[in-house]
Amino acid sequence: MPAITELHVNGGRKAVEADPDRSLLSVLRDDLGLTGAKYGCGEGQCGACTVILDGHRVRSCVTKVSAADGKPVRTIEGLADGDKLHPLQEAFLEAGALQCGYCTPGMILSALTLLEENPTPTRDEIARGMNGTICRCGTYQRIVTAVEKAAKVMKGGAK
Amino acid sequence: MNAFLDFTEPERYELFETPTWESDRREFFRIAGAGLAVALLVCRDAGAQRRGGRGGGGPREIAAWLHVGEDSKITVYTGKVEIGQNIRTSLAQAVAEELRVPFDAVRLVMADTAVTPDDGGTAGSRSTPQTASQLHRVAAAAREVLIDLAAERAKLDRGSLTVADGKVSGPGGKPSYTFGQLTEGKKLAKAVAANAPTTPPAKWTVAGRSAPKADGRAFVTGAHQYASDVRREGMLFGKVMRPPAFHAKLTAFNVNRDEVPPEVRVIRDGEFIATVAPTAHAAAKAIDAIKTKWQTVPQVSAADLFKHLKEKARAGGGGGFGGRGGRGGGNAGSVEAGLKAADKTVTATYTVAYIAHVPLEPRAAVAEWIDGKLTVWTGTQMPFRVRSELARAFNMPEDKVRVVVPDMGSGYGGKHSGEVAVEAARLAKAVGKPVKLVWTREEEFTWAYFRPAGVIDINAGAKADGALTAWEAHNYNSGGSALATPYAVPNRRTEFHATDSPLRQGSYRALASTANIFARESVMDELAHALGLDALDFRLKNLRNDRLRAVLETAAKRFGWGKEKPAAGRGFGLACGTEKGSYVASVAEVEVAKSQVRVVRVVTAFECGAVVNPDHLRNQVEGAAVMGLGGALFERIDFKDGKVLNASLTDYRVPRFRDVPILEAVLVDRKDLPSEGAGETPIVAVAPAVGNAIFAATGQRLRSLPMTPDGLGS
């Protein structure tokens, strides 16, 4: 397969020159400087690398960059509207739903796709829907609260 | 009392003028510009004094300093590291309190060896009791200098001036000077005087209240740059080859050059084999093109671990983690006589497995050499220790090495060492370009270090009325901290036994106290059951320590202990302990169904003196409970012949959303007591509370951590 030469990221087209076997995560981070997505395990187990590819959350550490060819990619850097934070970002800050913050971008993007599928989840549904993302600092209870708060603000509408 | 408490010894702070101080003085203004600089001087090697009790006549060094610029900006320089414990916020609150400004008017420069003082690293829950109290003094002294400057300028009595909102003002608000107006054109340096008055916690208005996480916005937008996010011009990526097992020896090495592209460098220095490439992918691929053979040696495996630890125990203890016998307990009376006098006795062996810290950000470093000087950006709790490691590794003076630690993707005691920094620096030196090295999760699980495994033997006895008569406790390998019982026992003996650890071990959140309190609080439960007494009543009968009693009673009350009855298949358990100057009690409810244990609810009451930031403290207590559940129920390193068998997040289970019970953190705020650390102690009572609850639900006493890696009955 030829090298990947362009990615559609956060609404823009970015030129790259990447071996198609490389992970989407490494191209986003190392070639495009979008370091909000994190390496946590390389196994697709922790969710720190979560980005939204063609409307679905993916583990970018186990997603080859070739899979993103021609498809829209959304990263944490594309979430706020200029200086205005997304309701999920606001809710994480309000709920104090982070300690070291390393899992936060992946958590927020996971929550975004969860709320797109289920705009009014119960706490239990949030916990089940987010179970693939790890917060080693253990702020889970606060994250559930943050997602609940954001859901109310978004009223099923905000993107 | 906590043996570490003498570290701050305020009477040692004094005005001190020496040539060293003069050069420091020049250095302050070079780094921060003109204005006012206030530094806190402490005796060098306070740690050695703490351990050996040497006199206080040694040289002084700077513990922390702050600067008030001509633009009124307040900047604190501290060697401490932000790991997620939110000291960037709480230390700013301490300074803001004394300078009478909002907390976000204070900026912290942290953990950069070129500009911040060496204060021994970020460990042992010392940042709040030590650094925050120092910064209160430094900031209070700065405030007094600003008042002096204003009094001089306004020709008013200093007693008539007030400091508020970043200004010093006279009666009725006139005249009024900003800090910048007072420091403009000056290069004024002060060392903290012993009598600098600080604001008592009862009068705090900035500290003592919840403040949001400093720089929180950068974390939720992905803008914050962790060490693993640092990028330098021309930077390449490294990958290190690891042996197939611990202590393996290299016997053959061959590179198939056809498989290595020209832009990839292969580096070999003895047994250090690595690649450097334009992408991490290419570096990893090239490692696969290197053919090596290794000779492995038979080693102790998990199945034989506890037997091995006891067999290799060295008489007399000492060394290792926490020294002999545990702190503060002492031996007294005759355990033999106490056991004879008892109506019920318990003799039990408890064990804890090796576990991994699993910081979500693995070890990472970016190294850059310029003109013989080395700079490394890395995630470590010990920036100055890592600087020393680097200086030794390259045989160069420490002042040619700079270590910068961006706010880290957590540590939990697991990032005290600098292997990744040394490796990245070796590669950068070899290729003459900046190199980034990020350990894989498998490397992190294998080549870092573990929380020590341990064996704890306890012999205990009590009279029928519940009065303890004897307590004997031995810890093999995992440490002596909190091995001594806080309960009143006339006959007691505790001993720590250093032994041979098959795996590399090191610090961990609350380290040995988690193991020792698990064993002690479980045996207390065993005794209460043997005596037919309520677990809370039995503890309170033997507990003279008011602070520990208070958290135990608070947690029990909030939980509804003695009032609520568990539903079918459920059980309640409680435990308490003290460590590093703070006090904690946890009460747990568990449900057991089809051999699976689910923790339903954990109430934790915690007291660490005057609370600095209630919301962040609650966050620490809740997070510690979650981490504690992992170690309690399912975390363990499995290993055989020098190989870790579960070096992945697929195979090593950490707590996830669905494992998390309802968590309630109740803070006992003691404004009459100095603030203590809170990042570690809240973890210690979780495992025994859960274990005791499992016993209440099932009648099964689980004496090994983790208790249910494969469910009950395994």
Give, for all 159 residues of chain A, the pLDDT tens digit: 899 999 999 999 999 999 999 999 999 999 999 999 999 999 999 999 999 999 999 999 999 999 999 999 999 999 999 999 999 999 999 999 999 999 999 999 999 999 999 999 999 999 999 999 999 999 999 999 999 999 999 985 655
Q: Among candidates B657, B638, B239, B659, which has minimal Cα distance to B445?
A: B638
Give the residue on B whose Cα is nearest the Cα of A20: B281
Task: State whether B619 and A36 contact (CB < 8 Å).
Answer: no
In chain B, residues 65-84 whose CB comes closer than 8 Å to chain A: 83-84
Per the CB < 8 A criterion, the answer to whether B131 and B77 are in contact is no
Q: Quick one: CA torsion of B526, B530, B535, B541, rounded to 10 degrees?
A: -110
Q: Which residues of chain A does B226 touch, with a Cβ-Cβ cutoff of 8 Å?
A: 35, 38, 102
Shortest distance between the Cα of B648 and any Cα of chain A, in A, equals 7
Q: Among candidates B189, B230, B657, which has minimal Cα distance to B409?
A: B230
**Between the CA of residue B195 and those of B14, B108, B703, what are the distances in Å?**
9, 25, 51
Q: Alpha-carbon distance B625 to B604, whole Å?
A: 8
Residues 6+ apart with CB under 8 A from A39: A25, A29, A48, A49, A61, B228, B362, B438
Q: Which residues of chain A does B221 touch, with a Cβ-Cβ cutoff of 8 Å?
A: 36, 76-77, 79-80, 85, 89
* Chain B CB within 8 Å of residue A40 CB: yes
Shortest distance between the Cα of A46 and any Cα of chain B, in A, equals 7
**Which regions in chain B score pLDDT beneath 70?**
1-21, 43-60, 193-196, 315-329, 714
Task: State whether A100 and B83 contact (CB < 8 Å).
Answer: yes
* Chain B CB within 8 Å of residue A62 CB: no
The neighbour count for residue B293, using CB atoms within 10 Å, is: 12
Task: State whether A134 and B656 contact (CB < 8 Å).
Answer: yes
Task: State whether A139 and B619 contact (CB < 8 Å).
Answer: yes
Q: Alpha-carbon distance B384 to B418, whole Å?
A: 10
Interface ipTM > 0.90: yes
How many residues are given for chain B?
714
Task: State whether A41 and B648 contact (CB < 8 Å).
Answer: yes
Q: Alpha-carbon distance B183 to B36, whole Å?
A: 6
Q: Alpha-carbon distance B714 to B710, whole Å?
A: 6
Q: Which residues of chain B does A48 touch, with a Cβ-Cβ cutoff of 8 Å?
A: 360
Give the residue on B whose Cα is nearest the Cα of A29: B229
Q: Which of B82, B88, B219 to mutate to test the interface with A (most CBs of A within 10 A)?
A: B219
Q: Alpha-carbon distance B569 to B573, whole Å?
A: 14
pLDDT at res. B324: 44
Task: State whether A96 and B213 contact (CB < 8 Å).
Answer: yes
Q: Which of A131, A141, A145 to mutate to test the interface with B (most CBs of B within 10 A)?
A: A141
pLDDT at res. B192: 82
Tally A–B CB contacts below 8 A.
Answer: 174
Shortest distance between the Cα of B484 and any Cα of chain A, in A, equals 29
End-to-end CA distance of chain A: 35
Ramachandran region of residue B121, left (φ > 0), alpha (ψ -120 to 50) or beta? left
Task: State whether A29 and B615 contact (CB < 8 Å).
Answer: no
In chain B, residues 660-679 whose CB comes closer than 8 Å to chain A: 660, 662-663
pLDDT at res. B680: 94
Task: State whether A102 and B410 contact (CB < 8 Å).
Answer: yes
| Pairing verdict, β B639-640 and B596-607 | unpaired
Kindly state the DSSP code that residue B700 receives in the 8-state scheme.
P
Per the CB < 8 A criterion, the answer to whether B476 and B542 are in contact is no
Task: State whether A138 and B280 contact (CB < 8 Å).
Answer: no
Task: State whether B360 and A96 contact (CB < 8 Å).
Answer: no
Per the CB < 8 A criterion, the answer to whether B378 and B386 are in contact is yes
Give the residue on A whose Cα is nearest the Cα of B442: A41
Task: State whether A77 and B222 contact (CB < 8 Å).
Answer: yes
pLDDT at res. B20: 62
pLDDT at res. B266: 97
Q: Alpha-carbon distance B443 to B272, whole Å?
A: 15
CA atoms within 13 A on the CB side of B188: 19
Per the CB < 8 A criterion, the answer to whether B533 and B375 are in contact is no
How many residues are given for chain A?
159
Task: State whether A39 and B438 contact (CB < 8 Å).
Answer: yes
In chain A, residues 78-117 whose CB comes closer than 8 Å to chain B: 79-80, 85, 89, 92-93, 96, 98-105, 108
Name which of B231, B407, B438 is nearest A33 (Cβ-Cβ): B231
* Chain B CB within 8 Å of residue A14 CB: no
Query: Strand pairing partners for B274?
Result: B240, B267
pLDDT at res. B60: 67
* Chain A CB within 8 Å of residue B104 CB: no
**Between the CA of residue B68 and those of B75, B142, B478, what are the distances in Å?**
7, 8, 46
Q: What's the order of all strands across the beta sheet hosting B60-69?
A: B106-110, B74-78, B60-69, B35-43, B187-191
Residue with tokens 């003592």: B208
